[in-house]
Amino acid sequence: MSLFKTTNRNLPAQAYPINRIREDPIPDGPTEPLGKRTAKPRVRNWGLLALVVAMFALNVAGVAGLLAWRALKTKAVAAGAGKAVTTVAPEAGGGYAVAYAQEPLRVQVGCSAVMFLDLDEPRANAGESVSDLRYDSRCGDQPPSLTLGPGATAGAQVGTSDIDAAGCGDAVRTRPLGPGASVQVRKGAALCVLTAASPPDMVLIEVTDVAQTGIAGMRATSWKVTG
């Protein structure tokens, strides 16, 4: 049996599908640059924003109301301070202890009359034998006067009521009232008195007002002498 050899030299390349050359390139799919991503749209919570704004407005209103209330309170206190005389009680120093502070005393007697004051309590219209001060009213234009009573051991007139116990002690020691000396009762006058109590009291007397003849308002602050 004879073998016949064939050749495919004259056949076109397209006749064999296996050798077909793709003329149409495969299209690339959608691509995007590396490292770049499309930003996602922000979702705003309008309800939460409205709540925050409302709370801020409420806080502002509250602060404004508080400031207004404080302003009215300050105005009222200032108005009240203009109608009443207030003084801070002097503080106690070494060797003294506060017994009472700014106790009011009111003297009301007739023309050319006498009233006695006990400063250990304090008390107006006390008995003469226990009194620390004697109040003498005067008739006409003469001002009333204060003199030391039998219950006081020493006293001194001072130029201001802004004085403490130690200051009163210095005044009593260095410039005491002599026998029979008196202090005119005028608004703003101040007097320090050392009582004969046991232990003794150092008392500051302030004249707060003087009305018609025989009427005067005073205020007393007392320290116990402890050393």
User: pLDDT by residue (tens digit) across 22-63?
Assistant: 555 555 555 555 544 555 555 456 667 677 666 776 665 655
CB-count exposure of residue 81 (10 Å: 0-12, 13-18, 19+): exposed
Confidence class of residue 108 from pLDDT cuts 50, 70 and 90?
A: very high
- The predicted model gives 178-196 an average pLDDT of 95
User: What confidence score (pLDDT) does residue 227 get?
Assistant: 76
User: What confidence score (pLDDT) does residue 73 get?
Assistant: 52
User: What confidence score (pLDDT) does residue 71 get?
Assistant: 59
pTM above 0.75, yes or no: no
User: What confidence score (pLDDT) does residue 140 get?
Assistant: 80
CA-to-CA dists, residue 81 to 10, 27, 139, 198, 208, angstroms: 129, 96, 34, 38, 15
Per residue in 75-94, pLDDT (tens digit) is 544 444 443 333 344 445 56
Lowest-confidence region among 64-68, 92-96, 193-197: 64-68
Confidence class of residue 113 from pLDDT cuts 50, 70 and 90?
A: very high
Task: Identify the bridge partners of residue 209 per DSSP, sorted by sequence position.
Answer: 217
Among residues 197, 204, 206, the alpha carbon closest in space to that of 225 is found at 197
